[in-house]
A and B are shown apart, each in its own frame.
Chain A
Amino acid sequence: MKSKLIEVKDLKKYYPAKKSSIIGKTQYLKAVDGVSFYINEGETFGLVGESGCGKSTVGKSIIRLFDITDGEILYRGKDISKLNGRQLKSYRRKMQVIFQDPYSSLNPTLTVEEIISEPLDVYNIGDKGQRRERVIELLEKVGLNKDHLGRYPHEFSGGQRQRIGIARALSIKPEFILCDEPISALDVSIQAQVVNMLEDLQEELGLTYLFIAHDLSMVRYISHRIGVMYLGKLVEKGPSDEIYNHPAHPYTQALLSSVLEPDPKMAAKTIKALEGDVPSPLNPPKGCRFVTRCKYAMKKCYEIEPKLKEISPDHSVACHLY
């Protein structure tokens, strides 16, 4: 049995929003409202959902980029959600991030060598010569070479920049990497290169990923288990093949049917579109949050919020239909 590297229990993150009047109560935007899941060591957990559903907030909460409102974040069984800056430092070394935009996540005034060795400087690892050696080793690992050491980010294409970002994340040998939409800014022909590389690195170094994306076909490809989020809630979670072959929640079904197959024969005559927009997270519907767009909505759905229920091994769904 694999052990759990990260476990999130009832995670909540509220942001204070505008007051309705000067003496009125502060309203809260519930970006993440009670999310629980775990990630096994050496596995990839995919988090999908539309923009504004809270998937990035979950990721950033786990690596403690900010304080959470409530809940627990267990790293190898130890709750890190209440640790302060200094106490967190040893955990930060184990958790790294790859960001979406390879253009804004690299400092344009630093050379590639400086960018990749910066984490090593921060943690005082090795002397100058050893750091350079490590940087070259990392560059080779991500398909670049030592000729690139003195170059600046603007000399590279999007895919190459993303590789530099990955090399930086790997420099201090983390156990866990948060991949926040790492391929959505890349060209189609480059996406596969980066995804393959992430897989190879996982196998070689035993890395654990939280892979956040909105491209469902890529998420299925790379993830072992998947969670589907809607308006701050996890509506379904389970093994990725199970989610794709037997989606249970009406929202998951709708998401999957709006994936456009790159195959003209499979393209349905009319695209089955989900109607309407996501409601404002400031004022989510009572009961089930998906009720305004759900074609199976019953009376119960407007009143009682459904809880996650296991419908087959490790596959749970939050819907009154089950």
Chain B
Amino acid sequence: MKDSLLEVKDLEVTFFNRNGKVRAVRGINFDVKKGEILGIVGESGSGKTVTNLSIMGLLKGTGKVTKGQIIYKGENLLNKSEKEMLKIRGNDIAMIFQDPMTSLNPVFTVGNQITDVIMRHQKLSRKEAKKKTIEMLKMVGIPSAEERYNNYPHEFSGGMRQRAIIAMALSCKPDLLIADEPTTALDVTIQAQILELLKELKEKLNTSIILITHDLGVVANICSRVVVMYGGMIMEEGSVEDIFYTPLHPYTKGLLQSLPKTGGKMKERLIPIKGNPPNLANEIKGCPFADRCPYTMDICREKQPKYYYDGENHRGMCWLLDKSINGKGENHEE
């Protein structure tokens, strides 16, 4: 715990609209350690992006942090003014988004956009900033960076645009990089390149990375620890090995089973998770996964489960893990 860079404590985010409120994030705790890649897995609407927008102070419109703390290097980011946050964003925490097509401004050259970021945050002259930009473009593997500096975004391919955005995000040497589905819009061969690049840069710059994704293949290949989110809560947290080999929560188990097995010759039928994700506009009393869980017990619908630990760093939020009531749900299995 001593080397935590960022700690999220009991965070709640609620969206208020005409029809009432939507509790998108419902009290979550996790931390990011120095130099690690933490994966946040969950389906759409599970609250993974909202959590990270709160860390960046970028929640817009009707969304508000209603409870909790976000501690970065000992200070609560939620108490910072917008002016202070402007300094933190970019210099300390940077973010890259899913869609490399819309993250760059189409009317400025790629080089100029990165140079502007460096000038603004590091108070360098344009000439020095340009030199640094070209250095960064080279570091992320853009060939003939000097010429590419003057290209517009439409002259870059999707993979190159994502590289340029990574260069921009890392140009001020942030300690924490939040990557929100960085490879979802890319082809598999390009995805492999970008993930390899992120791994490499992490080694080189010792940046901590939060990687948000729904792709378990990406998680297995690049993350060291994983947080599994569902319905605005953390269902399970542990090392990649914990999550993939000894999952505690039925949701995690369900996700792993619903993937086709490669390698094997025999065709095994896929085992899907039945039902649909919960509507967060409705109040959920117990476990958010109760409606889809094959082991649901009465208590699951009434009371929100506590966290149960398997070892120091592996926890799951499920009543099945409670030794005193375990076993009663078994007969639901079919």
Residues from chain A with a CB closer than 8 A to the CB of B241 are 264
The answer to whether A214 and B221 have CB atoms under 8 Å apart is: no
B236 → A minimal CB distance (Å):
15
B107 → A minimal CB distance (Å):
21
B27 → A minimal CB distance (Å):
23
Q: 1/0 per residue A183-212: CB within 8 Å of B?
A: 000011111110110010000000000000
B83, CB-defined interface residue at 8 Å: no
Q: Select which of A218, A221, A263, A277 is within 8 A of B159 by beta carbon.
A: A277
The answer to whether B214 and A264 have CB atoms under 8 Å apart is: no
The answer to whether B221 and A271 have CB atoms under 8 Å apart is: yes
The answer to whether A255 and B217 have CB atoms under 8 Å apart is: no
Binds A, one of B73-81, B204-212, B268-276: B268-276
The answer to whether A188 and B276 have CB atoms under 8 Å apart is: no
The answer to whether A187 and B43 have CB atoms under 8 Å apart is: yes
B193, CB-defined interface residue at 8 Å: yes
The answer to whether A218 and B192 have CB atoms under 8 Å apart is: no
| A191 CA to B187 CA, complexed, in Å | 19
A1, CB-defined interface residue at 8 Å: no
What is the size, in residues, of chain B's interface with A at 8 Å between Cβ atoms?
45
The answer to whether A191 and B258 have CB atoms under 8 Å apart is: yes
Q: Which of A218-265 contact B (CB under 8 A)?
A: 218, 220-221, 241, 244-245, 254-255, 258-264
Interface of B, helix, strand, loop or mixed by DSSP: helix
Q: Select which of A241, A262, A264 is within 8 A of B259 by beta carbon.
A: A262
Q: Which of B220-272 contact A (CB under 8 A)?
A: 220-221, 240-241, 244-245, 254-256, 258-260, 262, 265, 267, 269-272
The answer to whether B277 and A157 have CB atoms under 8 Å apart is: yes
In the complex where A258-B191, A271-B195 touch, is A263 in contact with B272 (Cβ < 8 A)? no
Q: 1/0 per residue A20-51: CB within 8 Å of B?
A: 00000000000000000000000000000011
B283, CB-defined interface residue at 8 Å: no
The answer to whether A264 and B260 have CB atoms under 8 Å apart is: no
The answer to whether A188 and B214 have CB atoms under 8 Å apart is: yes
Residues from chain A with a CB closer than 8 A to the CB of B270 are 192, 195-196, 221
Q: Which of B170-229 contact A (CB under 8 A)?
A: 187-193, 195-196, 199, 214-221
Q: Select which of A160, A195, A244, A275 is within 8 A of B262 by beta carbon.
A: A244
Q: Select which of A192, A254, A255, A274 is within 8 A of B258 by beta carbon.
A: A192
B160, CB-defined interface residue at 8 Å: yes
A300, CB-defined interface residue at 8 Å: no
The answer to whether B189 and A190 have CB atoms under 8 Å apart is: no
The answer to whether A189 and B262 have CB atoms under 8 Å apart is: no
B157, CB-defined interface residue at 8 Å: yes
Q: Select which of B159, B189, B191, B220 is within 8 A of A262 by beta carbon.
A: B220
| A255 CA to B187 CA, complexed, in Å | 10
B103, CB-defined interface residue at 8 Å: no
Most buried by B among A158, A189, A214, A221: A189
A217, CB-defined interface residue at 8 Å: yes
Residues from chain A with a CB closer than 8 A to the CB of B217 are 259-262
Residues from chain B with a CB closer than 8 A to the CB of A262 are 216-217, 219-220, 244, 256, 259
26 A-B contacts, Cβ less than 8 Å apart?
A51-B187, A188-B258, A189-B272, A190-B276, A192-B259, A193-B274, A195-B270, A217-B262, A221-B270, A255-B188, A259-B188, A260-B191, A260-B217, A260-B218, A260-B221, A261-B220, A262-B217, A262-B256, A266-B220, A267-B221, A270-B196, A272-B192, A274-B189, A274-B193, A275-B193, A277-B157
15 further A-B contacts with Cβ under 8 Å, apart from A189-B43, A271-B195, A272-B192, are A50-B189, A51-B187, A160-B276, A187-B43, A188-B215, A190-B273, A218-B260, A260-B195, A260-B217, A262-B220, A264-B240, A264-B241, A264-B245, A273-B189, A273-B196
Q: Which residues of A contact B (CB under 8 A)?
A: 50-51, 157-160, 187-193, 195-196, 199, 214, 216-218, 220-221, 241, 244-245, 254-255, 258-264, 266-267, 270-275, 277-278
Q: Which residues of B contact A (CB under 8 A)?
A: 43-44, 157-160, 187-193, 195-196, 199, 214-221, 240-241, 244-245, 254-256, 258-260, 262, 265, 267, 269-274, 276-277
